A and B are shown apart, each in its own frame.
Chain A
Amino acid sequence: MSTTTITKSAAADQAAPAPAKARRRGGRGLAGTLTSHGLLVLASLIALFPIVWLVFLSLGPDKDDYLHPGRIWSTMTLDNYSFVLQETNFFDWLKSTLIVSLGTTVIGVMIAATTGYAVSRMRFPGYKKFMWVLLCTQMFPIAVLIVPMYQILSELRLIDTYLGLILVYCSTAVPYCAWLLKGYFDTIPFEIDEAGRVDGLSPFGTFFRLILPLARPGLAVAAFYSFITAFGEVAFATTFLLDDEKYTFAVGLQSFVSEHDAQRNLMAATAVLIAIPVSAFFYLVQKNLVTGLTAGGTKG
């Protein structure tokens, strides 16, 4: 918009909408504030309710209590939790989940870091094609890789092993981290690289000695992202893990209902046990997560 139009329309509007403007200046007025609060309370209830409900059901002793929630009030108990922790494979699942997720995270971040730096700082021939490939791998539907992966892993006898699953997850985690880290490296001033090079560091030296320490928050975001993606992945884990002691949580949780006799109360308790630490951790990093992801995208 050019300056002339601004002044012109300002002059034209000086007379009429003065009262409305005055009200807006001082805030939204009582009705506006109440509406905002009302909408936000409603949205919060919708956001909160399914989770609260899951917690509530986890306290009911019977597997059909989800159909008669009224009963739970009088029979509330923590038995489901002690049963899940003592009698099921909960800790085996925890172990598998941690091995697979942490393995993916470590490999993903380590391999992706230099690449993120290279695509952030250097315009080499083939740069655009490479960025395009990175973007494309983010949109691979699981259906594209799951059949060939299954065949390849079964030939290598890696079905039902942690390594197999980690390798599969790396196919998404590595390009994902590279993309994310590029966004983060872009925010580190280029002057730092130049200073490093003036002082006689090689590009590798600049990267390892100067940039990597500065990029710790970015690395943490990439690590956390690959961790939760591996943690929550359902399709590959369901297909490639066969032994119920090696299940990750995403698969283990299904095993409560896929059996003929669905143990919904135990399932609810397990779901709550999984969700609490993950969401607690999530809250600590949530602000960085969004900026990390959208920065990687907008500057791509």
Chain B
Amino acid sequence: MTVAIDRATGKRSGDRGPRSGLGRRLKNSYQRYWYAYAMITPVILVLGALVLYPLAYGFYLTLTDADSLNSARTIGVNEIEATYKFIGFDNYADILWGETAYDRFWSHFIWTVFWTAACVALHYSLGLGLALLLNQKLRGRTFYRLILILPWAVPTFTTVFGWRFMLADSGLINSGLDFLGLPTPAWLEDTFWQRFAAIMVNTWCGVPFMMLSLLGGLQSIDSTLYEAAEMDGASRWQQFRYVTLPGLRTVSSTVILLGVIWTFNQFAIIFLLFGNTAPDAQILVTWAYQLGFGQQPREFAESAAYGILLLGILIVFTSFYRRWLNRDEQAAI
């Protein structure tokens, strides 16, 4: 009865013990690990059938010129066979350096990167600020916390409509601005203000999660560290810089990574806020959706190619991010 139970907490390289000879390892491998493999089999099957197969199929589609006019489809009782053909990497070439590549891909790419950076920066800084406020001894802080979670607790697809009513041309926000004698931007029509509104709504939706995670992180910092810092005469800022921030490091790195992934892929907010009306405020995800399902004919191949490119961008980003974290950690020790 040998099962590999490893008490190591992390998964740094080399956390397995010294290796025995190759032949013996192969011989024992099956016996030692079959429990583990049996346990992960269900997930492997599901991932294979529901993720990897569609992914491979999608990749194949990107190498064709499939759209809704030449794909297999049913019209009434007639079934029409697929007639799309293989065209190699033309879709990618067209997207990345085709004639109107800037208008279709690069402008959206730049906006998506800006959107992600701006939203995550706002989420994190506002979330940290509120977490710091809530972490003090303050009357009614449980009450504040419960209210501040609200944007996260209410389903996004309902609150976005609340925002839409407020941002409408003569909706509440513009009436208010008008009352104060300020200009009233066309939030849902003008490109700049659309982008502004999108960032604003997404910030509103995303701060509570950051706030709660960071609050959890703050509470796990040992209070004796602050006492020691205070004894040393560290200023408030120094305590924040040298005790709080390092103490939040693990939580921060996780929530920032999650935040980047979620914001980059944020579909619901932009889709529900603007629908198909704002071609310039679409981030890559909603833009790809619009190509595949928001227009006629539906450009399946091109939309899938966008999807693959997006996944590529995220995987590259995540690998670098994790590598950068690991290197940083070694430097700190």
Measured CB to CB, the residues of A under 8 A from B are 1, 6, 9-10, 12-14, 16-17, 21, 24-25, 27-28, 33, 36-37, 39-40, 43-44, 46-48, 50-51, 53-54, 57, 66-67, 69, 111-112, 114-115, 117-119, 121-125, 127-128, 130-131, 133, 135-152, 154-155, 167-168, 170-171, 174-175, 178, 186, 190, 193-194, 197, 202-204, 207, 228, 231-235, 238-239, 249-250, 253-254, 257-258, 264, 267-268, 271-272, 274-275, 278-279, 282-283, 286, 290-291, 293-294, 297-300
Contact = CB atoms under 8 A, between A and B. Distances in A.
A271 B42 CA distance: 37
A73 to B, nearest CB: 14
Given A151-B61, A294-B251, A123 B15 contact: yes
Closest 6 CB pairs of A and B: A13-B233, A148-B58, A297-B254, A144-B307, A143-B288, A118-B39
Contact of B54 (A152, A207, A298): A152
Given A50-B163, A114-B39, A122 B171 contact: no
Interface in B148-197: 148-159, 161-163, 165-166, 168, 170-172
A135 B134 CA distance: 31
B258 A297 contact: yes
A298 B217 CA distance: 11
Given A69-B172, A123-B8, 6 more contacts: A27-B137, A66-B172, A121-B5, A232-B156, A234-B157, A250-B268
A202 B230 CA distance: 53
B265 interface: yes
Contacts of B233: 9-10, 12-14, 16-17, 21
B153 A239 contact: no
Contacts of B129: 39
Interface string B271-301: 1100100000000110011001100000010
Contacts of B251: 294, 298
Given A43-B130, A43-B148, A149 B54 contact: yes
B161 A54 contact: yes
B46 A170 contact: yes
Contacts of B39: 114-115, 117-118, 122, 203-204, 207
A178 B230 CA distance: 43
Contact of A9 (B55, B232, B300): B232
B35 A53 contact: no
A287 to B, nearest CB: 8
B contact face: mostly helix, strand, loop, or mixed: helix
A50 B163 CA distance: 6
Interface string B202-225: 001000110011001100000000
Interface stretch (B94-102, B117-125, B308-316): B308-316
Contact of A142 (B42, B61, B144, B285): B285
A204 B209 CA distance: 36
Nearest to A280: B153
B72 interface: yes
Nearest to A207: B39
A246 to B, nearest CB: 17
Interface of B: 1, 3-11, 15-16, 29, 32-33, 35-37, 39-40, 42-43, 46-47, 50-51, 53-55, 57-58, 61, 71-73, 129-130, 133-134, 136-138, 141, 144, 146-159, 161-163, 165-166, 168, 170-172, 204, 208-209, 212-213, 216-217, 228, 230-233, 235-236, 242, 250-251, 253-255, 257-258, 261, 264-265, 267-268, 271-272, 275, 284-285, 288-289, 292-293, 300, 303-304, 306-308, 310-311, 314-315, 318
B250 A298 contact: yes
A232 B3 CA distance: 41
Nearest to A39: B133
B307 A146 contact: yes
A50 B204 contact: yes
B80 to A, nearest CB: 12
Nearest to A273: B158
Nearest to A52: B162
Contact of A125 (B7, B29, B292): B29
Nearest to A20: B235
